[in-house]
Chains A and B, each alone.
Chain A
Amino acid sequence: MAREPLVGRSVPRVEDERLLRGNGRYVDDIAPAGCLEAAFLRSPHAHARIKAIDVSLARLMPGVHAIFTGADLHGQVEPMVFQIAKIVPPPVRESTGAWSRVHPMAALPTERATWVGQPLAVVIADDRYRAEDALELIELELEPLPAVVDPLDALAPGAPLLEPEWESNLALHYRFSNGDVDAVFDSAAVVVEEQFRSHRHIASPIETRGVVAQPDPYDGRLLVWSSTQTPHQLRDFLAGALRRSPETLHVRAPDVGGGFGPKGAIYPEELVISYVASALNTPVKWIEDRSEHFLATTHGREQVHTIALAADADGRFLALRDQITHNCGAFNILGLVVPYNSLTHLVGMYAIPAVDVEMRAVVTNTGVTAPYRGAGRPEAVFAMERIVDRVARRLGIDPGELRERNAIPPSALPYETGMIYRDGTRQVYDSGDYPELLRQARRLVSDEDWEARAGAGREVGIGYAAYVEGTGVGPFESASAQVIAGARVRVAVGSASQGQGHRTTLGQIAADALGVPLEAIEVVGGDTNAIATGFGTLASRSLVVGGNAVAKACAELRAQVVEAAAGLGFEVGADDPLPLGPMAALTPFNPGRPAGAPAVLRAQAEYYPGPVTYAAGVHAAVVAVDPRTGEVEILRYAIAHDCGRAVNPQIADGQVIGGTMQGIGGALFEELVYDDEGQLRTASFMDYLLPTASEMPEFRTAHVDVVSPLNPLGVKGLGEGGAIGPMAALANAVEGALAGHGVVVRSCPLTPDRVRALVRATEPPVPTAQETT
């Protein structure tokens, strides 16, 4: 008797009720008895020599227990060395000459501060109020040094050096070259070159970061609660930096209030709080406030592309050249991850015979950058899709039509790009239907008279953004499944949720693989004691890598249960539901438990994916722009998407729409602005504007889901996809709307100010009084 599979159904989320009743448990809800609270003193300068930090007065404040500076940590806490940033797989090095270098980050520096917001000291007090009082009394003597903020300036001769032992600020470099690009450029019918800037923004989950470290005198272990996407990585990192065995550390990520990438990084505050709690032998909590979040949680997206595209007279792309300058911020903490994603997602769904891309990633006196939803892809897609539109305009071809002419047809798949992916394997688009994605996106915006809807005085533009996304990167993910009391199965995963609904989707996968109802499954994660190892939730990989690990563990567990059930006289066919009766009978303390039955029914599996599997999408934005005010209204935002097999369509759509809305925020409203001295001028929600419900456009979606041939579940990642397209789609739409004015959109966000400035620059100058006389 085959059962109706749960995979593919919009099962309501099992995690909701607890959260809806206010019974969620986020890090700030963890309150061990006697817990002290921490506040960090942060650098007010982007670059400064630390002359003295005098804490003597602050230490005398009532309620203050301790203050630690870098000097106090010296010899106790190893500087943070981001090993992952050094990784260059040999095939990547061979094909691009890639190299990456890293300088260690002191958890609290003693010599120099290199960005505004870098932690310099920590106060531990009875509560946060008193800790912040004491911050005011710390005397900080800093000698300001010249700072460098802009990534292009960082490469100029004589630029201030972030790391004096380096001869330049270049932290990472690669160059990929395929075909005779110069020759093609010399002979092509049309060549368009532009410089586009992807501006800096921040993920800004509504829950900021937080850490609670709690020493256990019973066994000497340290329990660290952190709002992290990667508890196992944090455990191992802390073990190295604190010089203790990972086995003495227990890291838990409870409910996490949004991640989007930044919570996958490892931070000095996590290290400092863990050390301080051990040193004081008492629980210590630090909860980041929002202004700290803007300064000290990783940023993303800042790249400058000098890009050129050559095409023939029919608009067929012949060659692409791009020089990318990427801003790492003050430290190169993740190496190739973001900069290399920009290479392997630049060309996207087009066939281009000759490609030449150079990457220069630099360190500057700004906040550290790291993956933010899309992680190098939105930046590359912005540059590529903008230059595609510039070519379309030059040739007088409709931008949608031009994209269809150049899209790789399904018959050419699997398609080898000639590049090596970040995991060291050859880049191959495994599955998808790019022309159909384009057709669907175009269809979704073709059913209305937009000029009429926009009304008089406003110009209408339609902009597209097409992209592919490698998803489900390795190296592995782990899962275990165990029969527990009550005829239930506990599934433990290495990739926990920050809102993605893994308890539901991974539960659906587990229930199908086992042949039991969803109610019989309990998914746990975010806990290094729940499962020995795990990689974490990032890079659109949980469903692909974690999901297949769950399916594998549960299939193995099913086999064990079937065998045990046979011993009890239950015959279970291959397609039969798993009978819960024998499972209950097999629990250890059941008095009726048959002699000789296995004491534990448990399966553990690691899933090692092969090359990534390709999701894809085409966004189409329709905007009305008022050239007199610069105001942009999105009349409709359409998304055609390929996410492979959707495990839970409602959750899948939630990811796509949510990601798209984040992208829209970046395209229209959000920007982290540093001044020339490296002061962040947008460190509150009053200055950094997140979109609200009032900014939500009318959405239309279409699925062109092609099941992945690369993994047993046929799934593709979809956490990041929505955020990849909006910057490009909206910039293209706004430029299209203002085509009559001849504007070129070279960066976002497209605030009324910026749009108005673009229009004004094309208008004849208003004669001044002097000129008219």
Chain B
Amino acid sequence: MSEQLPIRLTVNGAELSAEVEPRLLLSDFIRHRAGLTGTHVGCEHGVCGACTVLVDGEPQRSCLVFAVQADGAEVETVEGLAAPGAELHALQQAFHEEHGMQCGFCTSGFLMTSAALLREHPHPSDAQLLDAISGNLCRCTGYQNIIRAVRSAEAKLAAQAGDGTPAAAPAGDADGA
């Protein structure tokens, strides 16, 4: 019944073309048409950030974008951070080591938000870090280990890049003993 519009976009480097209804959300396109279910939908009103993907390098809530708006864009999702079978991305490794995740539902959004942050600011200030990830809700971890994980990834990425800049000290250390 509804009008279908053609779109072409790349998702994690793969070119996709499809006919979609103008009202189809990018989040639903990614999940149900492209079959990439690592992007999760938590609120569909742009607050929780679970559905965050990168559109032309910028973090976007894919539940607030229509698929037709992504026509011609390069979209990156969590599945693009590390190729299947390849080593984990530094952020993924850090979230694992620092226990920066519990149920895993919000994790993809945090990973994509943090990936964009560390690309733009390889050594973000505490304020920049909090500002970036405060658009993502996590109900399990209490955030402390997420912040540690991003800091740890910062150091890993700097080491990978051979960047001699020392990483800032982790924020919110909880060792009270």
Contact = CB atoms under 8 A, between A and B. Distances in A.
A22 B142 contact: no
B102 A638 contact: no
A12 B45 contact: no
B37 to A, nearest CB: 4
Contact of B103 (A31, A256, A651): A256
Interface SS of chain B: helix, strand, loop or mixed? loop
Interface stretch (A13-21, A79-87, A486-494, A562-570): A13-21
B143 A693 contact: yes
B172 A696 contact: yes
A258 B99 contact: no
Interface in A204-247: 204-208
B41 interface: yes
B1 A207 contact: no
B142 to A, nearest CB: 3
Contact of B82 (A21, A659, A660): A21
A590 interface: no
A692 interface: yes
A520 interface: no
Contact of A498 (B1, B103, B144, B175): B103
A26 B105 contact: yes
Interface string A170-209: 0000000000000000000000000000000001111110
A636 to B, nearest CB: 9
Contact of A23 (B38, B40, B97): B38
B54 interface: no
- Report which residue of A13, A23, A257, A661 has the largest number of chain B beta carbons within 10 angstroms of its beta carbon: A257
B171 to A, nearest CB: 9
A214 B70 CA distance: 33
Interface string A604-640: 0000000000000000000000000000000000100
Interface SS of chain A: helix, strand, loop or mixed? loop
A563 B100 CA distance: 42
B79 A685 contact: no
Nearest to B42: A206
A499 interface: yes
B99 A694 contact: no
Interface residues of B, number: 62
Contact of A654 (B45, B95, B133, B141): B141
Contacts of B31: 28-29
Contacts of B106: 206, 257
B143 A692 contact: yes
Contact of B84 (A21, A28, A686, A700): A21
Given A22-B79, A686-B45, A651 B99 contact: yes
Interface residues of A, number: 62
Contact of B92 (A15, A20, A29, A444): A20
A684 B101 contact: no
Interface in B29-47: 31-32, 36-45, 47
B140 interface: yes
A698 interface: yes
Interface in A691-710: 692-694, 696, 698-703
A206 B133 contact: no
Given A258-B105, A693-B143, A696-B142, A13 B99 contact: yes
A130 B23 CA distance: 11
- Report which residue of A129, A203, A255, A662 has the largest number of chain B beta carbons within 10 angstroms of its beta carbon: A129
B130 A693 contact: yes
B139 A690 contact: yes
A184 B53 CA distance: 64
B143 A208 contact: no
Contacts of A694: 130-131, 134
Interface of B: 1, 21, 23-24, 31-32, 36-45, 47-48, 50, 77-79, 81-82, 84, 88, 92, 95-97, 99, 101-108, 111, 130-131, 133-147, 172, 174-177
3 tightest CB-CB pairs across the interface, nearest first?
A22-B38, A499-B103, A257-B105
